[in-house]
Structure 1
Amino acid sequence: MDPQVVLDLYGQGFYLIVLIVGAVMLPSLFVGLMVSVFQAATQINEQTLSFLPRLIVTILVIMQLGPWILMKLMDFTTSLFINIPMIIG
């Protein structure tokens, strides 16, 4: 097994993880930012106020992007299994 192949597989897996996590967390980040701006403007100092909107947005994003996430993970896993002879040999 060539070290370049291992590094390439690692890079592809890391990119996939960053892509999926970024797609799920960015909407939550924006909602948290909007709630924080609202709290700063109204001077409400409640720490738990931003938790529920972020949780709801995260759940909705996972529900909407679930098929896409599953497709990406299945494509990556399928390409790994198909390329086993190239990786080993």
Structure 2
Amino acid sequence: MDTNSVLDIGLNALVLAAKLSAPVLVTALVVGFAISLFQSVTQIQEVTLSFVPKAIAVAVALFVTGHWMIAEAVGFTTELFARIPSLLKGG
């Protein structure tokens, strides 16, 4: 196993991590921004007002994109297992 193979696997793992976390993070960001904007306009400073909608939105995002996330993770793992023979012989 050479340096290029290790870097390729590491890069693919980082890209996969970014792809899998993006739907949840973007959803939390958008809902958090909307709630923050609502709180600043109405001057309501309630902690649960920002937490509960964000938690619900993240749960919905996980429910909607969960199948895709699992398929991506399984595909990456399958690809790694398929590459084991070529990695061991150095080719």
- Gaps of at least 5 residues in structure 2 are none
Please report how far the alpha carbon of residue 25 of structure 1 lies from its aligned counterpart in structure 2 after TM superposition. 1.3
RMSD: 0.8
Please report how far the alpha carbon of residue 24 of structure 1 lies from its aligned counterpart in structure 2 after TM superposition. 1.4
Quote the residue 2:82 is aligned against: 82
Amino acid at match of 1:40: S
What pairs up with 1:10-89 in 2 under 5 angstroms? 10-89=10-89
The one of the two structures with greater contact order (alpha-carbon pairs below 8 A, sep at least 6) is: 2
What count of residue pairs does the alignment treat as equivalent?
Answer: 89
Indicate the percent of aligned positions where both proteins have the same amino acid: 36
Q: Does the residue aligned with 2:44 lie in a helix, a strand or coil?
A: coil
Amino acid at match of 1:13: A
What pairs up with 1:1-12 in 2 under 5 angstroms? 1-12=1-12
Please report how far the alpha carbon of residue 84 of structure 1 lies from its aligned counterpart in structure 2 after TM superposition. 0.4
Q: Partners in 2 of 1:60 and 1:77 — Cα distance?
A: 26
Q: Does the residue aligned with 1:57 lie in a helix, a strand or coil?
A: helix
Please report how far the alpha carbon of residue 46 of structure 1 lies from its aligned counterpart in structure 2 after TM superposition. 1.7
Please report how far the alpha carbon of residue 48 of structure 1 lies from its aligned counterpart in structure 2 after TM superposition. 2.5
Please report how far the alpha carbon of residue 58 of structure 1 lies from its aligned counterpart in structure 2 after TM superposition. 0.5
- Gaps of at least 5 residues in structure 1 are none
Q: Partners in 2 of 1:45 and 1:56 — Cα distance?
A: 19
